[in-house]
A and B are shown apart, each in its own frame.
Chain A
C-alpha cells in the first residue's frame, strides 16, 4: 500500500444526470452543442412566482433501474444520487463485490436535501398550511429520510455495498466540489481506498422558487426561458434554478493503474475558504476565492500557467460573475486573460449543491475530449467581465489541467484542480 502522504486520488468512473440528458453521453453532447435545457417550469404552475424558469430533468426512475419501493421511499434527489452512483460504478469497471467494504466509502453533497419531498409532505400534513399542529397521521412512513439528508448517502452506500466512512457534505452551493474534495482527502489520508463521491439536488419546488424570489436571486426573464441563463453577459439578471447529480468513483492512483483502469483525471488539488462577510453577499475583490485557488494550485504543484481551462461558477447573478472574474485575475495573474473560462450554468442552470460535481464531470470530459464547453447566451459581455468566456461555441483545446470553482451562500468559496496524473509537477 502506498504510504499516506504519497497517495494520489484519481477519478475512474463517472455518472451524470443533468437537464437535457441522463448519462455522460447526452450531457456532453448538450454542452458541446451549446444547447440550453432551461424552460418554463413544468413541475407545478409557476405563474404566481417572480421567476418561472428552470432547468428540469426529464427523468423516469423506473427506466433507470429503481424498484417501486426504492422510488417510493426516496426523494427525487436521492433517486438521482443512486442512479448516478450506479452509472459511475459501471463505468469504472471496478468489481465492487470484490472490494473490502470497510475500505470503501461514500460522500454525497447536497445543499438542500429532500426539499421536494419536504415541501409536498408539509403541504399535506398541514392541510395546505391551515394547521399549526400539523397532523402526523398524514405523514409518509419514510418522512424521517426526508428530514435528515444523510439518507442520501445511506442509499448510495447500500447500492454500492460501502461500509467505510459514509456521509453527506452540505455546504450550500459548493457542496458538489466539497464532497469530492472531502472524499479525496479520505483516500489520501489512508482511511479508504475507494470512495463513491459526488452530489445531488432536486430543488425545483415552490418553496425554493419562493425563497429565491424573495431575494431576487433568480432571473425574472420568463418570456424567453431558453435564453434566461446569461453568465457574464451585460444583460444577466439572476440565475436559473436547475437540478441533477453527478457521482464519481475515486481510487488511489497506484491501485487504479495496477488494475488497468481508465483514469479520467487526478483530483490534484482542492481547497475551500470562507468570505466571513455575508450569508448571501460577496465582496467584489474575490479575495477568499483567490486564496482557495492559490492553495488548490499549490496542492496540485501546478502554476497558474499550467491551467488549460477554468470551469467557472458563472451563476449569472450580477455580483457573482464580477466577484469570480476578480478572483481569477487575483489568483492567476496575466494567465487569467489567456485561459478559456466558461460557465455550463448557461445551459443547464444552477442545481445548487449538485452543480459543483456536475461541473467536475464537465471539466473531466473537457480533458478527455480536448474540447472546452462554451458559455451559451453570451452575446454582449459585461465590461467588468473581460476574460475569454468561450462564448456560444465549444472550442477544440488541448486540456490537461482544469480549475473548477464554486461559490455559495454562507460565504463558502471552493476550488479544485483536476489534471492528468502523468503531468509534470513542480
Chain B
C-alpha cells in the first residue's frame, strides 16, 4: 500500500501574525498585515503597499554566526523550521540522519542579499562582494541551511514555479515519503521587499498601485486592480502516517491527500487554462468527489482575467456556489512560494477548528458564481480542503488536504 503523508507540525511567518497561533488568531479576526512599505522609501515607485513582517527578531531567534550569511527569507525559513519541529514534538537530532529530508520552493532566492552584493560590486568593486554571496542568494539556500541546522541528511530538493512552487515542494515531500523517507520539512518562505526586488516585481504588471490598504488587493471584486506582495510563508513537518502514529505525535493536522500540476496552453492558443484540469486531477488523486471538498483556498490573483479563470474553474468543478471559497491572503498579500504552504496551514487549522477564515474587504462581483466567505469566519465542519496556486507564465497547482483518520 502507498505510504500516506500527514502533517504534524506547522511553522508560520506572516505579516499579520508571527507563529502559528498569532497568525491564526489574526486571520480569524480579519486582521490585515498590509500597509505602506517601511523597509525602504516607496515614494518613487508606482506601488507602495506590501504585507511586511514586522517584529521578527532574527538576532534573538538565530545564532549570531548565521546572521551575516543569511537573507531575510532564509532567517524566516530557519526559524519556521524550528517552530514546525517544536510543534510536531520532534528533536531532529534524535532521529536517524538519513531519515529526514527538506523540500522547499523559492521564488526569487535571497534577493535582498543579492541586491546588496550587486551594489557592492558595481559601486565599489569585486573585492567588496561577500564570501557568502556564492550561496546566500541562490534558490537552494533554504533547503541547504535547514538541512545543516537540523542534521538532516536525507533527500533535499528545491523547486521554482513562481507562486505554484509552494505546492510543488509539498508534493515533492510526499513523493519522498512514498519512497520510504519517514520525515520531510516542506514548504517555502519568500521575501523580496527591497528596492531591487520591488522594481523586478513591478515589471510583471500585476501589482496593485492603490494606496489604500483596504482597497488594494480585492480578488473577485469588480474593483480588482492587482495584488499586494507580501513576505513570509509556512514550513510543514510531513511524516509518513505510521511514523507519526508510532512516535505518538502530539497532533496530526491532516493528510496530503491529492495533488496535481498543469501548465496553461501557450499564449494565443485560444484554449482554456489548465487550472480546472489541475483541480480535477488533484481530486482524482485524493479519491474525493467534488462534494467531499468543504472549502477552496483560492489563488486569488485579483486581476479581472485571472479571477475569471479561477472562478470559472471552481464553478466548473463544484457548480455555481457549490463550495465555500476563501482567500485569507487578502490579509497578508501574496507571498509567492510562501503563499500556498501558508494556505495549506490555514486549511489544516480550518479542519482542526471547524472554521473557515474569511476573505477581507472584498465585495463579490456579480459575474463570479462562487460562495466567497467574506468579512467574518464561517463555522462549518471541514473534512477536506482544496488549495490552489498559480504562477506567472501559466503554472497551476492544486492540492487536497483531508482530516486525519
Contact = CB atoms under 8 A, between A and B. Distances in A.
Given A163-B264, A207-B117, A279 B148 contact: yes
B45 A274 contact: no
16 contacts: A101-B265, A126-B118, A126-B123, A128-B122, A139-B199, A147-B108, A150-B395, A151-B392, A165-B263, A170-B140, A207-B118, A212-B134, A275-B153, A276-B97, A410-B141, A412-B144
Interface stretch (B52-60, B161-169, B219-227, B296-304): B161-169
A170 B159 contact: yes
B358 to A, nearest CB: 29
Contact of B159 (A126, A134, A143, A167): A167
Nearest to A148: B162
A144 B126 contact: no
A409 interface: yes
Contact of B144 (A112, A132, A207, A274): A274
Nearest to A111: B138
A423 to B, nearest CB: 22
Contacts of B165: 150, 167
Given A130-B123, A178-B157, A211-B129, A409 B135 contact: yes
Interface stretch (B27-35, B201-209, B236-244, B363-371): B201-209
B196 A279 contact: no
Contacts of B130: 211, 214
A166 B45 CA distance: 33
B7 to A, nearest CB: 20
| Max chain A Cβ within 10 angstroms of own Cβ: one of B97, B147, B160, B168 | B160
Contact of B199 (A125, A158, A279, A409): A125
Interface string B90-133: 00000001100110001111010011011111111111011101
Contact of B277 (A102, A106, A113, A158): A102
A99 B141 CA distance: 37
Contacts of A189: 175, 178
Interface of A: 48-50, 101-102, 105-106, 111-113, 118-119, 121-123, 125-126, 128-130, 132-136, 139-151, 153-154, 157-158, 161-172, 175, 178, 182, 185, 189, 191, 206-207, 209-215, 217, 271-280, 288, 291, 408-412
B218 interface: no
A129 B123 contact: yes
Interface string B188-211: 000010011111111110000000
Contacts of B121: 129, 206-207, 210
A142 B205 CA distance: 10
| Max chain A Cβ within 10 angstroms of own Cβ: one of B121, B139, B203 | B139
Report the 8 A-B pairs with minimum CB-CB distance, sorted nearest first: A410-B144, A129-B122, A129-B123, A154-B393, A210-B126, A170-B139, A144-B204, A143-B203
Contact of A150 (B126, B162, B203): B162
A147 B119 contact: no
| Max chain B Cβ within 10 angstroms of own Cβ: one of A145, A167, A273 | A167
Given A211-B133, A274-B155, A412-B156, A102 B196 contact: no
A171 to B, nearest CB: 5
A118 B115 CA distance: 10
B262 A144 contact: no
Interface in B375-401: 391-395
Given A143-B200, A165-B262, A172 B168 contact: no
Given A272-B155, A276-B97, A410 B266 contact: no
Interface residues of B, number: 89
A135 B126 CA distance: 23
Contact of B109 (A113, A121, A165, A409): A113
A210 B162 contact: no
Contact of A274 (B102, B160, B265): B102
A280 B136 CA distance: 11
Interface of B: 40-41, 44-46, 69, 97-98, 101-102, 106-109, 111, 114-115, 117-127, 129-131, 133-135, 138-141, 143-145, 147-148, 150-162, 164-165, 168, 172, 175, 178, 192, 195-204, 260-267, 274, 277, 336, 391-395
Contact of B119 (A112, A129, A175, A288): A129
B199 to A, nearest CB: 4
A144 B200 contact: yes
A212 B157 CA distance: 23
Nearest to B129: A210
Contacts of A122: 115, 118-119, 122, 196
A274 B156 contact: yes
A149 B139 contact: yes
A126 B196 contact: yes
Contact of B168 (A128, A158, A167, A276): A167
A140 B205 CA distance: 12
A191 B278 CA distance: 12
Contact of A182 (B117, B126, B157, B392): B157
| Max chain A Cβ within 10 angstroms of own Cβ: one of B120, B121, B201 | B121
| Max chain A Cβ within 10 angstroms of own Cβ: one of B41, B125, B336 | B125
Given A133-B195, A134-B196, A279 B267 contact: no
A402 B313 CA distance: 46
